[in-house]
Amino acid sequence: VPTVKEVWFEGGEPFLVYPLLLEGIRLAHEHGFTTGVVSNAYWAESVEDAELWLRPFAELRLGTLLLSDDPYHHGDRDPSPASLAREAANRLGLGGGEICLPPPDRLDGVRFRGRAADRLTEGLPSAPWREMTSCPDEDLRDPERVHVDPFGLVHGCQGILLGDLTRESLADLLARDEPDRDPIRGPLLRGGPAALVEEHGLEPPEPVVSACHLCYLARQELRERFPERLGPAGVYGATS
């Protein structure tokens, strides 16, 4: 797929599969991609310890290291593991930066889906679900990026599946993809999460905090009807 220039290794938490992460970066470079890693740096117990974890990435010439450094990931730990890892990364010459999400009541950083929809929405300002008429964050018709999970499933947005790379190549998948005819992306493209609710005859719970919140609640309801399009189970807080 000629438009794909970069491969990023994100979470969950990619350091949980540390040897595979290193090998993935090596292979991505071998195929001419630039690379990036996003981690919460749970593994950094001191700057010296973090240097041991990160030295192989410097040797592999990792492109960018982004570290999640906010209370969602580290509570009130001071210094945070991410700040220890950043100091180690600086010593090793690894470039990158931090991802710092604001508190949920700012409503401008947290995407309320997955655990965020379940655990962070209580008490926040809400709006009628019919106002959620567009997707704010993903271009579902002509995506500039896709996510590939450890099962080989390709996601447009987390939990919205385009196909399975264990069955076909990404090039073939994209060539035959018809997002407007997709039972999930089609309604989202026509009228956002509100259309997803209306076109499938769902009764959404009131109120919702954001478009992503409604989208996630609707997809939870639809998951059993469209198992090929909505998964894997873990993204929806389920085990099967």
Residues 184-188: contacts with CB under 8 Å, at least 24 apart: 184/160, 184/219, 184/222, 184/226, 184/229, 184/230, 185/140, 185/141, 185/156, 185/160, 188/135, 188/140, 188/215
Q: Point out which span in 17-25, 96-104, 132-140, 171-179 binds ligand SF4 (CB under 6 A).
A: 132-140
Q: What string marks each residue from 151 to 190 as x (binds ligand SF4 by CB under 6 A) or -?
A: ------x--x---------------------------x--
- Residue 117 interacting with ligand SF4 (CB under 6 A): no
The b/e string for 15-27 (b: 16+ C-beta within 10 A; e otherwise) is: beeeeebbebbee
Q: Smaller CB distance to ligand SF4: residue 95 or 136?
A: 136
Are 109 and 123 spatial neighbours (Cβ–Cβ below 8 Å)? no
Among residues 113, 143, 195, 217, which is the contact residue for ligand SF4, using CB under 6 A? 113
Collect all residues with Cβ–Cβ distance below 8 Å to 165 and sequence separation of at least 6: 148, 152, 153, 154, 173
Interface region with ligand SF4, contact rule CB under 6 A, candidates 26-34, 41-49, 90-98, 130-138: 130-138
Annotate each residue in 187-226 with x if it binds ligand SF4 (CB under 6 A) or - if it does not, as one string: -x----x-----------------xx--xx----------
Q: Does 235 bind ligand SF4 (CB under 6 A)?
A: no
Q: Which of 135, 161, 209, 222 is the binder for ligand SF4 (CB under 6 A)? A: 135
Cα–Cα distance between 193 and 76 in angstroms, integer? 35
Residue with Cβ nearer ligand SF4 (4 or 189): 189
Q: Determine which residue in the list 137, 139, 206, 228 makes contact with ligand SF4, applying CB under 6 A.
A: 137
CA separation for the pair 126, 238 (Å, rounded):
26
- Structure tokens belonging to residue 140: 């579902």
The contact set with ligand SF4 (CB under 6 A) reads: 111, 113, 135, 137-138, 157, 160, 188, 193, 211-212, 215-216
